Structure 1
């Protein structure tokens, strides 16, 4: 049978449909189910009529037979018999004889109603005859009669489910509202706000209850009109005053003025999460008073305002101008006792002036960002008020003056910190840049107990001399910053024992210094991510071999078994390399036995050159993923095609970042 089917398939491929029909028919007649006789199909079946009456197609195939076919022959689920009959029906389709094709498809269903083959073929023919609804019913019957099978167990069954899904939206169970014309639906919902529509859209099939209205999430992109104050009152009434989450990332889009903000917050005493995007052209005053929000754990606030001058900063009762009332300490005081995560875009004016910085005893995650050119932020007064902090992200210029005031509690500042992320803005005066680098150096000199993740982006055009004692330093004397006891410098304890990740960008260090600082960290076997930033051309790394010498000075890192991810920035080796001396990078990377992910970024290479470097790396290593930003377009397509041969995935862009950062306890 199989040889005849293969021969018929060849005839079909050559458009010899008559010969193909003969071979498929001969194969069918050889099936043992015929018992040496010519098997006839049952003439009693009416699958279309049963489907129109919403009857059981399975019962029609199994039991409805008044002729001798069911008496003379049994059912047959022989795969070769099904295949020959299926191919013969397909041949009739190709010949345009859909009536004969449908008879063969019905015969398949009669012989094996528990297999998907007949339903799939008959459904296809019905679709070719423009009888789509009957095809949907046929596919549905097939799925119902094969539901005891795993979908992945058969290619035909998977195909049956795919075809059913294509027609499900048109003929499947309908949302009752979809039966109404659009004009009626608009009349029903015209007084509803967009938040209600959003909640109903995701929860339409669930039973209505008060919990549906506890999360008020205003979507960013929608054509719905902003809700009125009346609509907001109705929304809060449905929540019964038990709103737990308010997320408004685009308040200007929703015309969220002071009246609406007051309506949302005044009765939300069980609020746990509050996210407010840029106020746009509005000014807000947030409720104040201790105990106003007893359960508030998360606050994210963007204080940017289109109308404010560049020197404007957050003030008033929360977000507003100076005439609106007291400084925002009144709002933060009311939530400081419970707040666990705080994210701010823009800095409170009183914090810049180091005035009335409130204690946050439960704060674990803090992210502060400055959009505009604003004064440098004095970081250590805040450090003294958030001693239990575990994750810190700063995107701003920093100020360290007055740090000597904290020397008596230096050992207790942020000693529970696990994640330190700092992005220095590219814009800023030379004095701001210098002070920021000094402040970051002091931050990395704190006595961390459980620091696991360091991520720093310092856009600083440094040479190796300029950065020798910056950011990471292994000298113990901090007296030049005014940190000493009785004339003796404060000694910094070993604080990198639990470090897992060091991500750097733009800022380069002397390798020997980094080796002294992090050698013990490597011995602990926990460090799995490390970045190497190659220097700009300087005194010690001039010439074509400068970066090769710089890489050689990282021998203390070479071969580390715990390293699984490496980043390489601003490197440049000899053009047209002929060996390891010209391109030492592949062999350096090959020394890491467990290296899986690599990030590459260098403006010194053309796309073709970087492709050659990546090819050399893939040949020498077992890397699985490469992030790069130097190859785009057609060269990137070619690179990805080549990388598939090595089992490597090439991704354009930088390694993704998560916030908050997952940490280990």
Structure 2
């Protein structure tokens, strides 16, 4: 209710306030209090308040009323609720109350100072002065939480009606020293948002999205935040969060997971888990009992990864929807004198019909000796690597026959063979859908001293198996070819060591649709590379290409072999499809003029080049750094993978890359498996 302030009233209040301030400066606090009180009494709202009280008192003292009536009025007056305070628009009233509260604080009379601060909040609920004064008094009494709440109350009061944004900023600034300790927001409830200038709450969909992105290490502690959080996260609506139990990374338990805790985790998903990853089965102590509990709660399990279990696990209940399976270390439990069925082989046999992705580190013994590889009709991605003490050979023919719809094959250090019956020929079209082939053979090496042919022994059969894999579907369906295989075309008896022996020996074979060719150790003849890869390059399909340089010859001029090798790749110059190129084991001398560098010239003739991947084991560090500097200075790039440098050299190269706008990555680029192909 607005009160009319006449000029005389305003002048009287201003004079009383000025007199009170002068007495306050002279530390005559009692006289200052009297002046500030006098100023308050002149405010029209205080005059109306005193008039109302006087009228009530006159009614009680009226002699004409009967005694019992006066007693009744007195009782009603005493018990009647106080009327809500009226907002006063007189700034002088607020100023006088503020000064009087500060004077009471000096006397000291904290109780009255707090009463004046509360009165300020009553008559001016959207002005910051009362809340600031009350918060100051509370902090003086070491009541920081109450002070923070008062300031928050002021912000909320301002937001309820017309307000000045500056008032909000003042109140929020006063809260800053207290925010670190007391400004805790419950995202499941409402909270104060000054950016939105209102109280707000997160959209429910956003809350679910945040919880859904948490791993177990973050999600489990949320159960202990409060009862409301626990009810929410353990309730039916949160079941999807617990269907993926990933005990990896930060969520990998440091201590064995008790059976009781495992049952509780599974119960949060209503015993309907879809994904389980156990990074370290020994630390988890994954035995048959726990695995049986998991299987009972995983009838709809789709993704399972287990490494190094602590026991030979037995499938007591087959997951009928399992599509992705990764197992590591299961071959350790094979016993040759085992009278019953091998648990490892039995597990793979049980889930084989539904599998789409299979990753095995360590292969069942029966796959080697008896070729008992189960038929996997739906398998699309297969990755195999042998375990320790598995020297036997695996039949690539039986392997391919068991996976007729395979799209991606990754074999690592497997002793393969391609033994066929006398009247049988290898069917190169046995995998019509194969699109990606990765061969990793760390045993293959070249004698750097004598340039002899590889010491194959049992690897001769593996090379022949590799050659058959290279010509599947005549090479036309392959889109990714990744060969981690050591070979140098400059050696002797090339026909006995060339992994491309069947490929470039038959003109009907060609990699027409190849998009990526990776080879970190394979030294390919430039002429062979042209025969094999010029077609997809000119067709605009092959966008990632690797070049490995041959070993320097004995007593050759510095960098001669690398310079001759790169010049023979002139057929690649001008190829617009090449976006990424890998350069491995090169050795160039330093050039006075950087533009004369044969590698720089070659890279600058690839018009659409965006990325280089560089490592070399033949360089001195200083020469290698000079070459890297020249590449960054003269070749326009977006990213560079250089895992070899460290220390101050890395800092200098990183600073140069930053100046040139190149994203420098100090690690090898390892593609995720299964590979993500464009149409996938």
TM-score (norm 1): 0.66
Once the two structures are TM-superposed, the CA of residue 266 in structure 1 deviates from its matched residue by: 4.3
Q: Distance in 2 between matches of 1:475 and 1:370?
A: 27
The corresponding residue for 2:462 is: 436
The corresponding residue for 2:653 is: 639
3-state SS of the aligned residue for 2:353? coil
Once the two structures are TM-superposed, the CA of residue 500 in structure 1 deviates from its matched residue by: 0.6
Once the two structures are TM-superposed, the CA of residue 262 in structure 1 deviates from its matched residue by: 2.1
Q: Deviations over 1:212-234 (max 9, x none)?
A: 54333335556675344455455
Task: Pick closer, same or farther for the CA change 1:141–1:537 going to 2, 3 Å.
Answer: closer
Query: How many pairs does the alignment contain?
Result: 509
Q: Distance in 1 between matches of 2:256 and 2:619?
A: 51
Task: Pick closer, same or farther for the CA change 1:538–1:610 going to 2, 3 Å.
Answer: closer
3-state SS of the aligned residue for 2:577? coil
Match of 2:517 among 487, 497, 502: 502
The corresponding residue for 1:337 is: 353
Once the two structures are TM-superposed, the CA of residue 379 in structure 1 deviates from its matched residue by: 2.2
Task: Pick closer, same or farther for the CA change 1:175–1:269 going to 2, 3 Å.
Answer: closer
Q: Please give the residue correspondences for 1:97-112 in structure 2 after superposition, counting only pairs within 5 Å.
A: none
Q: Please give the residue correspondences for 1:397-546 in structure 2 after superposition, counting only pairs within 5 Å.
A: 397-403=414-420, 408=425, 410-426=427-443, 430-447=456-473, 448-460=475-487, 463-465=490-492, 470-473=498-501, 493-538=508-553, 544-546=559-561
The corresponding residue for 1:484 is: none
Q: Distance in 1 between matches of 2:387 and 2:244?
A: 29
Asked if the contact 2:397–2:418 (Cα under 8 Å) also holds between the matched residues in 1, the reply is no
Q: Deviations over 1:528-553 (max 9, x none)?
A: 00000001135998763221111011
Q: Distance in 1 between matches of 2:467 and 2:358?
A: 24
Asked if the contact 1:357–1:385 (Cα under 8 Å) also holds between the matched residues in 2, the reply is yes
Instruction: Select between 264-273 and 515-524 the one with higher mean Cα deviation.
Output: 264-273
Q: Distance in 1 between matches of 2:457 and 2:231?
A: 52
3-state SS of the aligned residue for 1:275? strand
Q: Deviations over 1:558-609 (max 9, x none)?
A: 121000000000001123544555x211110011111000011112223332
Task: Pick closer, same or farther for the CA change 1:613–1:121 going to 2, 3 Å.
Answer: farther
Asked if the contact 1:464–1:510 (Cα under 8 Å) also holds between the matched residues in 2, the reply is no
The corresponding residue for 1:566 is: 581
Match of 2:644 among 623, 630, 637: 630
The corresponding residue for 1:284 is: 313
Q: Deviations over 1:622-648 (max 9, x none)?
A: 211111133211121111112222111
Q: Please give the residue correspondences for 1:146-295 in structure 2 after superposition, counting only pairs within 5 Å.
A: 177-178=224-225, 204=233, 208=237, 210-219=239-248, 221=251, 226-233=256-263, 236=266, 239-266=269-296, 268-280=298-310, 282-287=311-316, 292-295=318-321
Asked if the contact 2:594–2:600 (Cα under 8 Å) also holds between the matched residues in 1, the reply is no
The corresponding residue for 2:395 is: 378
The CA RMSD over aligned residues, in Å, is: 4.4
Q: Distance in 2 between matches of 1:225 and 1:217?
A: 15
Q: Distance in 1 between matches of 2:383 and 2:262?
A: 30
Q: Distance in 1 between matches of 2:530 and 2:555?
A: 18
Q: Deviations over 1:187-217 (max 9, x none)?
A: xxxxxxxxxxxxx999839754554543333
Instruction: Select between 118-127 and 350-359 the one with higher mean Cα deviation.
Output: 118-127
Task: Pick closer, same or farther for the CA change 1:534–1:343 going to 2, 3 Å.
Answer: same
The corresponding residue for 1:591 is: 605
3-state SS of the aligned residue for 2:523? coil
Task: Pick closer, same or farther for the CA change 1:655–1:232 going to 2, 3 Å.
Answer: closer
Q: Distance in 1 between matches of 2:163 and 2:590?
A: 68
Task: Pick closer, same or farther for the CA change 1:256–1:594 going to 2, 3 Å.
Answer: same
Asked if the contact 1:366–1:393 (Cα under 8 Å) also holds between the matched residues in 2, the reply is yes
Instruction: Select between 405-414 and 637-646 the one with higher mean Cα deviation.
Output: 405-414
Q: Report the structure, 1 or 2, having the larger helix content.
A: 2
Q: Deviations over 1:426-457 (max 9, x none)?
A: 48974244443332222112224421111121
The corresponding residue for 1:308 is: none
Q: Distance in 2 between matches of 1:321 and 1:425?
A: 32
The corresponding residue for 2:367 is: 351
- Whether 1:649 aligns to 2:663 is yes
Asked if the contact 1:261–1:284 (Cα under 8 Å) also holds between the matched residues in 2, the reply is yes
The corresponding residue for 2:325 is: 299
Q: Distance in 1 between matches of 2:633 and 2:429?
A: 49
The corresponding residue for 2:215 is: none
Task: Pick closer, same or farther for the CA change 1:390–1:339 going to 2, 3 Å.
Answer: same
TM-score (norm 2): 0.65
Asked if the contact 1:472–1:514 (Cα under 8 Å) also holds between the matched residues in 2, the reply is no
Asked if the contact 1:474–1:513 (Cα under 8 Å) also holds between the matched residues in 2, the reply is no
The corresponding residue for 1:71 is: none
Task: Pick closer, same or farther for the CA change 1:41–1:393 going to 2, 3 Å.
Answer: farther
Once the two structures are TM-superposed, the CA of residue 459 in structure 1 deviates from its matched residue by: 3.7
Asked if the contact 2:244–2:276 (Cα under 8 Å) also holds between the matched residues in 1, the reply is yes
Q: Distance in 1 between matches of 2:196 and 2:125?
A: 14
